[in-house]
Structure 1
């Protein structure tokens, strides 16, 4: 492979005198990503006597040189450069390099680069650099790792996760660590909140606004939520019991006391009581027809994909239509409709 790569390099690349310093600006230009790393690695191997200095904006290329000293430029005032060495961090290598080149405070969110989380939160938090992190566990881990990385203290990082089945105590503990939650069970439920439903109904002008919104509310509560309430109660109970188990503190124990302390700690958790508590929450919301509470409790990602027809829109396209409104004249109305359901995070 190396000889094949050498054959496409200009002969001048090998004509430098020994022990020289080569400064290559933007080595990624005009090269396919699959070739770039192998090409420059081959050149470096061919001239080990030379010092190669690469100036690049490509974080993947920089990540390939993790065994080499790496410098990032913080700022340039027209006369002076503010720079530093890449700090050690528990953040994934490529993510760290990406964040170092960013000038905004960071907001770690769930989902992938093309998910609804990123699209909605980028619009709702324009002063932040929104970084998709997969699941909530990784959001929490990234937020913690960012805070503990020396050299990043000029920026702030927060996390934003779904509420899921977490208790208020859990959510408050996460908030103290810089991880916030939305006011509904999951991001898909943001597409179901009343103010947004009114904006959508008004925008498409396909029906009476109040009538359409009331039909959606009845559908979500009395068809979707009611139909899944038993499974939802069980899932909420299991999630809460897992959280209680993970929070157990056995204190200082030795070989003679560890078994007793474990039994004592576990004995403080009563599954039957938690099941009854969750039943009261879910069945209470249903009996009161409390739509806002239902959206806080209901974890069903497909619920928001069942309401488009109430507005004359294909069910599968409903969320895409809402995202589309964020790029048009209804943008401000959509943002105002969603803001009461997302936390205020100061940049």
Structure 2
């Protein structure tokens, strides 16, 4: 340091700092680094970091994503880096930036939270993807589209997985073209009560505690499904009708011309007719429901159907779900059966390119 000068580095120099977050409290890393950069704008800084908060919250002019490196000689050590400059990083939504920075090359956005059924299932069934919950279906759709339209992020393969929620085939196909896939059953809750999943749980319960054998537990589950389906028919019909009405509202978009003319497109629908049609569909299913196959087509989320099936088998809903979540993480016979059954109702994410 020169006398009368508080600088430890001359102007027009480069300072390289490796992983500053390792020696600083997480709460002050980004503010400290930003203050440092602002205090000495006459020098350049290169930061190597794995800290999402630092990278996302820092005053960064250029972001280089280093994916891998390979040693090509030892004396002296020379490496070849697989790296790329991310040009449009600042144009990405802050929440997406945080998801992106911690991502593998495959990033799967799903509905829910880190504690939701969606995340707990998909995180196991899609081990090659970084599964990231985004809340609702619309947030998943927006996240995927935002990343896929950014050409500078071609090293990230972003896809989405959402509940089918009564979407018609044309809508599902249009979403798939944008990298958003829908389940082959109504909701993620349905995956827990597919026939072979129920049978696997029944087998585990019998082996653990005896009592009713697998066949008896399955018969009890089937009887309870039919009874609870009929008792919940009004709620299920209302949900089907709501999905259809929301589809119609989504298609009736307001245009720029509408706003300029202070007019809005006419949105009309026969609510009674839509509900009657949904009632008829559910009544038909109730009449023919003699097995657990109905679970494949009926939305059971936010109904008592799943809980009642679990109780009929000899346990409560929480224990039933915990058994399923535990088994899908194991390589046992029951675990493999549950995983393979669920995968039949999930899209093949690795089929085709992004």
Residue 138 of structure 1 deviates from its aligned partner by 0.7
Q: Which runs of no fewer than 5 residues in structure 2 stay unpaired?
A: 1-5, 72-78
| TM-score, structure 2 normalization | 0.81
Secondary structure in structure 1 of the residue aligned to 2:17: strand
Aligned mates of 2:121, 2:34 — CA distance in 1: 40
Aligned mates of 1:67, 1:182 — CA distance in 2: 39
Residue 311 of structure 1 deviates from its aligned partner by 4.4
Task: Describe how 1:262-273 pairs up with structure 2 within 5 A.
Answer: 262-263=265-266, 266=267, 269-273=269-273
Instruction: Deviation per CA, 1:3-23: give whole Å up to 9, x if none.
Output: xxxxxxxxxxx6623323221
Distance 1:210 1:272, change over 3 A: same
2:223 matched to 1:218?
Answer: yes
Aligned mates of 1:196, 1:37 — CA distance in 2: 47
1:305–1:319 Cα contact (<8 Å) kept: no
2:124–2:329 Cα contact (<8 Å) kept: no
Choose which of 313, 316, 320 in structure 1 pairs with 2:322: 320
Instruction: Deviation per CA, 1:220-278: give whole Å up to 9, x if none.
Output: 3312x32221132123213212211321379997899996x944xx45x4333322221
Secondary structure in structure 1 of the residue aligned to 2:122: helix
2:237 matched to 1:237?
Answer: no
Secondary structure in structure 1 of the residue aligned to 2:186: coil
| TM-score, structure 1 normalization | 0.83
Aligned mates of 2:260, 2:149 — CA distance in 1: 37
Residue 57 of structure 1 deviates from its aligned partner by 0.6
2:17–2:47 Cα contact (<8 Å) kept: yes
Secondary structure in structure 2 of the residue aligned to 1:80: strand
Task: Describe how 1:77-156 pairs up with structure 2 within 5 A.
Answer: 77-78=70-71, 79-88=79-88, 91-96=92-97, 98-99=99-100, 102-156=103-157
Aligned mates of 1:94, 1:255 — CA distance in 2: 30
Aligned mates of 2:313, 2:61 — CA distance in 1: 57
Give the corresponding residue for 1:288. Answer: 288
Residue 151 of structure 1 deviates from its aligned partner by 2.0
Instruction: Deviation per CA, 1:33-64: give whole Å up to 9, x if none.
Output: 12322333343344443322211011111011
2:301 matched to 1:300?
Answer: yes
1:63–1:94 Cα contact (<8 Å) kept: no
Number of residue pairs matched by the alignment: 329
Secondary structure in structure 1 of the residue aligned to 2:150: coil
Q: Which runs of no fewer than 5 residues in structure 1 stay unpaired?
A: 1-13
Residue 100 of structure 1 deviates from its aligned partner by 5.0
Give the corresponding residue for 2:178. Answer: 177
2:62–2:85 Cα contact (<8 Å) kept: yes
Instruction: Deviation per CA, 1:194-217: give whole Å up to 9, x if none.
Output: 110111111232432122122223
Choose which of 50, 53, 60 in structure 1 pairs with 2:46: 53
Instruction: Deviation per CA, 1:287-313: give whole Å up to 9, x if none.
Output: 111643444222433543444444443
Residue 94 of structure 1 deviates from its aligned partner by 4.8
Secondary structure in structure 2 of the residue aligned to 1:77: strand
Give the corresponding residue for 1:65. Answer: 58
Deviates more, 1:133-142 or 1:32-41: 32-41
